[in-house]
Structure 1
């Protein structure tokens, strides 16, 4: 099921945050959206999820016009298009397991949701999601007691509970250290590859976008100025996306690097993009 943006613009007063963007994304792609702060990346994702409405243009998924949905149709879309936020958006006073099960709210009756009554199957599914992310041992802890990396993995587990058709991640690693950033990105790629779910993620770091995304979209001043595979993201393309410094030189990509070195990996020939479980254990 293809996803399309057709001439989408979002204006806040006199400021144009997203400017006449048209995109077509086939099912199952992992897409990275890059650009400077204020380029329109977050507004773009929020329009896709309908947290923000487009000022003009339309959004389509599988033949339905997402941008015109209201009421139950809109709630169903926000269930099918799960959103992961930079600040996690968990309920700190609730335990981790309950936070994950909240991902089922749009699949349940209003009364069951109000009473917070979850079935045994939902509890088992939540525990399975936590096990997949390597943090099942935190299930009964209050979410507010976890580290940032652990909280982001809880947020991903909650998104999985929605059984989404598309997964959006808005700067999911911006506040994480390199090891936890790798764990989170490995998890998103694993979801994309195993479930075939379309993943669109905003990223600040070029090395991450190149390593994990099969397609990169570069934004500048609300417009798409680059759209292609990582191999085509050359110095000229990077300069068009990020501009130049005050001396006219292009940006130093090492300033945006999140790469990590695993001791002994180079000597043993081990790839640094190891499995989720191994790295999750290292950061627990």
Structure 2
């Protein structure tokens, strides 16, 4: 169980995350939605300890995540893998080596510095690439791949950590609809087949509805919605994204939410198949 207890993050006088408390059971698939600047990325970075909390605490089982240091912190960042919108690969290195870099926290410092990988690690990396359908790119420089392929390499690298939790910070924000679907399908498969908790920040409402069993909506650093997709009514969307009129600007969420208000109010799901839509400007 991941426990986020009254967590606040300040940057000077600006409050990026404001007194957030959440409990996330092992194996849940969670989508966090909200406007840019709502605090979504800061929250994930605090969970992974790329950023410290200003107040409150984060706990995972018996580990006080927010106070870990040194080797214990490195162990947590191994167990809590993170993928980013920018992929964070080494472009000049081949795909296989990029994936094997996910083993660094499992290895001695000397072996890591020398980049000496075992045959077992190479086999693990190939298996991860095969699982994601990109094994044929193993010897290509990572920088020659498409954005969708690079994100799948980043997911394969995260799998090499053998994590208990996977955090994905806007993993499809820069991808076209087809590649976005492939990446989200991969994250869902990892969640369901391996029982790994997946927490992902998303811009698209339809993606959150389709893939996540639980949706958390953030606005101005606070959690204003927490529930299953069926409870994400038009009123809830307005509270997350703002807006007083009956129509929410589609460009705000990069998705269509033109569902009759009476259906949303009753908790009905859309009768049409949700479509992944690339964010504006992607």
Relative to the length of structure 1, the TM-score reads 0.89
Summarize the alignment of residues 14-163 of structure 1 with structure 2, pairs less than 5 Å apart. 14-163=13-162
Q: 1:257 deviation in Å?
A: 2.4
Contact 1:216-1:228 within 8 A present in 2 as well: yes
Aligned pair 1:4/2:40, yes or no? no
What is the CA–CA distance in structure 2 between the aligned matches of 1:37 and 1:56, rounded to whole Å? Answer: 22
Cα offsets for 1:178-219 (capped at 9, x unmatched): 000000000000000000000000000000000000000000
Give SS of 2:182's match.
helix
Aligned pair 1:256/2:254, yes or no? yes
Contact 2:32-2:199 within 8 A present in 1 as well: yes
Report how many residues are paired.
259
Contact 2:238-2:248 within 8 A present in 1 as well: yes
Contact 1:206-1:253 within 8 A present in 2 as well: no
Contact 1:75-1:106 within 8 A present in 2 as well: yes
Summarize the alignment of residues 154-193 of structure 1 with structure 2, pairs less than 5 Å apart. 154-193=153-192
What is the CA–CA distance in structure 2 between the aligned matches of 1:30 and 1:202, rounded to whole Å? Answer: 11
Contact 2:206-2:274 within 8 A present in 1 as well: no
Give SS of 1:4's match.
strand
Give SS of 2:116's match.
coil
Q: Let me know the Cα RMSD of the aligned residues.
A: 1.7
Q: Unmatched 5+ residue regions in structure 2? A: 257-272, 276-282
Q: 1:158 deviation in Å?
A: 0.1
What is the CA–CA distance in structure 1 between the aligned matches of 2:234 and 2:41, rounded to whole Å? Answer: 24
Contact 2:207-2:274 within 8 A present in 1 as well: no
Q: 1:252 deviation in Å?
A: 3.9
What is the CA–CA distance in structure 1 between the aligned matches of 2:205 and 2:154, rounded to whole Å? Answer: 24
The ranges of structure 1 where at least 4 consecutive aligned residues each deviate by more than 4 angstroms after the TM superposition are none
